[in-house]
Chain A
């Protein structure tokens, strides 16, 4: 079945620094890769996604990169703020459902 590995499991940065989270996936048929942010006590919320016909997508302070050749994707959060502290999940989908990574807890210190 599909497998998504995510690292690091925890990440601590200083406010203003960049944070990078990486994932690898196993299914070459995967064609959709969303990233979710989960704040404490809440459900996950989509922050950015990328389709397999793209290599890079940018949002507000977030950039996602996709390398289909080696099945890697990454999320970069620029100029981090304390409000970015949360758990972040990558996910992949090829057919009908999403498979999630195990999550990265990001802590941004003032």
Chain B
């Protein structure tokens, strides 16, 4: 099993450009999450999908949109990238809906730079 996969691994954008980060999991998990990680800030939740067909905002949703394409795939879209969105983005999944009592498995991350 590949676990959680993310594409691309690296990306450089110019301010105002758009892009979609892709995430897929092969563990048949119900819940999927997008985080961003900035130096000294830990991991902050952008959006999550507790189950197929649902999405909810996390702590820092502004400037992002998400799509739960099916049970396996959860994408994150930046419509008009800004330098403040320079970060490392992690996708995660967990078996049960919600965050309590169940392990989240993380992908390898996408390092995004916005110039």
Partners in one complex: yes
What is A's interface to B at a CB cutoff of 8 Å?
1, 6, 9, 31-32, 34, 36, 41-46, 49, 51, 89, 93-103
User: Which of B40, B99, B103, B107 interacts with A97 by CB under 8 Å?
Assistant: B99
Shortest distance from the beta carbon of A76 to any chain B beta carbon, whole Å:
21
From 80 to 102 in chain B, residues with beta carbon under 8 angstroms from any chain A beta carbon are 90, 92, 97-101
Shortest distance from the beta carbon of B10 to any chain A beta carbon, whole Å:
11
Total contacting residues, chain B, CB less than 8 A: 26
B53 within 8 A of A: no
What is B's interface to A at a CB cutoff of 8 Å?
4, 33, 40-45, 48, 50, 56, 58-59, 90, 92, 97-101, 103-104, 106-109
CA distance A95 to B56 in the complex (A): 13
Q: Give the secondary structure class of A's interface.
A: loop
Residues of B within 8 A of A41 (CB): 108-109
Residues of A within 8 A of B99 (CB): 32, 93, 95-98
CA distance A97 to B101 in the complex (A): 10
Query: Can you show 6 pairs from A to B with CB atoms below 8 A apart?
Result: A34-B103, A42-B109, A43-B4, A44-B43, A96-B98, A97-B48
User: Which of A32, A43, A89 interacts with B100 by CB under 8 Å?
Assistant: A32
Judge whether A97 and B98 touch: CB under 8 Å.
yes
Given A43-B106, A44-B90, the answer on whether A100 and B100 have CB atoms closer than 8 Å is no
Shortest distance from the beta carbon of A65 to any chain B beta carbon, whole Å:
19
Most buried by B among A6, A94, A103: A103
Judge whether B106 and A45 touch: CB under 8 Å.
yes
Chain B residue, CB-CB nearest to A90: B42
Judge whether B104 and A102 touch: CB under 8 Å.
no
